[in-house]
Amino acid sequence: MNKINLKNVTKISILIGLLIFISIIFSLLNMGNDKIYKNIFIQGINVSKKEKIEAEEEIKNLYNQKVEKGITLKHNELNLNISYEQLGVSPNFDKALQEAYGIGRTGNIITNNYAILFTNFIKRNIPIDYNINKENLELCINDIESKLPDLKLDASYYIEGNELIISSGKNGVTIEKEKLEDLIIKNIENISDENNIIDIPVKEEEPERINIEKIANEIKKDPKNAYLSEDSSELHVDEDGIELGISIEEAKEILAEEKEEYILPLNITEASTKVADLGENAFPNLLATYTTNYDASNINRDNNIVLAASKLNGSIISPGEEFSYNKTVGKRTIENGYKEAKAYAGGKVVLDVGGGICQLSSTLYNSVLLANLEVTDRHNHYFKTSYVPEGQDATVSWGSLDFKFKNNRKYPIKIEARVGEGVATINIYGVKQEDDYNVIIESKVTNIIESKTEYQTDYTLEKGTQIVTQKGENGCTSETYKSLIRNGVLISKELISTDTYNALPTIIKKN
């Protein structure tokens, strides 16, 4: 029995020695190998038999190509481009490369040899870790949804004089946001996939029914007189009393009709003392001002800007109150005095009732930024604008896109809108505070999106002729920063937006 055990021990010892010998020989053969071993991939890219620096160069080149193109989100005829910068994408290439190169090198002789042999038979794919700013991604998707031409519109309302005007909304689509998030993340992670176009997943929805009880409660308020404290340190603005001029049952009968818009009467009880009665002391300090220029010879555009400014002028926002541009300016209709002018809609330059009022919302946006007020809802245009720098515009559209901000100061503020002779100026007045800053807004273009040429066949033209019906313009991505300065010292510099402006194509009709 002892002899048998001794023989077994001897055989095992010989086998172990043989394995060690083979491992040493195998290690010696691979000792001079400075390349990644066979059958190893990084995010689907074959990096086998490549030096680490060579693999890194190939992966980064592929990634940079994807970054340059960005991601195009498509819905019917609408194409929206988003950049990796907007999403805050940051890949960890070093970790993946270290792991790929470390296979067969980080253990002892036996485990290293096993790892090397193992890769000869089974593919090893190492993922790249990506850091994607989920908050930016969510904001980006929300902004894209607001630009869909067939977006579902919920019921909305505004007050015009002594009338409550309610829009019924319309059927449309909304984005399946979780699905789109997954599609965007997978497209970013799939570094070897050259396709950068994603069809936006949407679902059909109906608008919420008009809740007249809720609206009546939201608009109802008692009249309040304006007054100024003796030391002028505290201002209470006036508020007119408002309530429905008919019963809820009568309102429901009117709303039972199938209409796009309903007009309900209001009972208005005016405050006996207005802010205007308190004199200049009510808003003694100019907090911010911003001016843009426009072509006053374009009569319809000039009409729209002047009309919107008249509704905006004199608006007073109390501390903590949120201002809505759409609710203040009202729905842009022919009946309300607006006219057709060029505007951006659905990714195209079109004639639209109210065209031009985005210049006023953009002018207001810049004045709000300079007053260091809190912006709560803002969207950039589909194409670049000519009246403000990239990243400093604020587009609006009734029912979908609004510009909103909150008065985060201790004192009410007043908006003054001056328009005339091709000049639009927005002044914001209030009371200066000890903790106020000087504000500087800076924007920079981070990438150019080249314009393309589209050819359209038009058999009404003579053969061999062609005409340019739309002159193209490059798009871009941009970053906008807000700097806060006190006593000449920079206190903070904050990135407030990353925006993408699509390229406007040149359109040529030919036969």
**pLDDT at residue 8, rounded to an integer:** 63
Q: Residue 260 carries which DSSP code?
A: S
At residue 85, does pLDDT exceed 90? no
Residue 76: which region, alpha, beta or left (left: phi > 0; alpha: psi -120 to 50)? Answer: left
- Given a cut of 70, is residue 348 above it in pLDDT? no
Is 197 domain-assigned? Answer: no
Residue ranges of alpha helices (H) inside 399-498 are: none
Comparing C-alpha atoms, which of 509, 501, 511, 434 is closest to residue 474?
501
Nearest to 287 by CA among 414, 472, 201: 414
Asked if residue 3 is part of any domain, the answer here is yes
The rounded distance, in Å, linking the Cα atoms of 70 and 78 is 16
- Distance, CA of 253 to CA of 246 (rounded, Å): 11
pLDDT of residue 123 exceeding 90, the answer is no
Structure tokens of 222? 């008692």
State the pLDDT at residue 350: 65
HEC-encoded secondary structure of 352-395: EECCCHHHHHHHHHHHHHHCCCEEEECCCCCCCCCCCCCCCCCC
78-80-82 Cα angle (round to 5): 170
Q: pLDDT per residue over 286-300, tens digit each?
A: 999 999 999 888 999
Mean pLDDT of the chain: 87
The answer to whether residue 402 is domain-embedded is: no
What domain range is 6 assigned to? 1-30
Provide the number of structural domains found in the chain: 1
21 domain-assigned: yes
pLDDT at 110: 67
> Do the domain assignments include residue 16?
yes
What's the pLDDT score for residue 455? 86
User: In this predicted model, what pLDDT tens digit does every residue of 234-281 receive, in sequence order?
Assistant: 788 888 999 999 999 999 999 999 888 999 999 999 999 888 788 777
How many C-alpha atoms does 219 have within 13 Å on its Cβ side? 26
Cα 72 to chain center, whole Å?
A: 14
Q: Which amino acid is at 204?
A: E
* Position 288 in a domain: no
Q: Is residue 26 part of a domain?
A: yes
Rounded Cα gap, residues 123 and 46, in angstroms: 10
Cβ count near 182 (within 10 Å): 12
Give CA–CA dist 273/238, Å, rounded.
7
Q: Which residue has the higher pLDDT, 344 or 347?
A: 344
Q: Please give the structure tokens belonging to residue 84.
A: 């990796």
> H or E element: which one contains 9?
helix 2-30
**Residue pLDDT, tens place only, 25-68:** 545 445 556 788 888 999 999 999 899 999 999 999 999 999 98
Residue 461 lies in a domain: no
Look at 335 and 425; give whichever has higher pLDDT.
Answer: 425
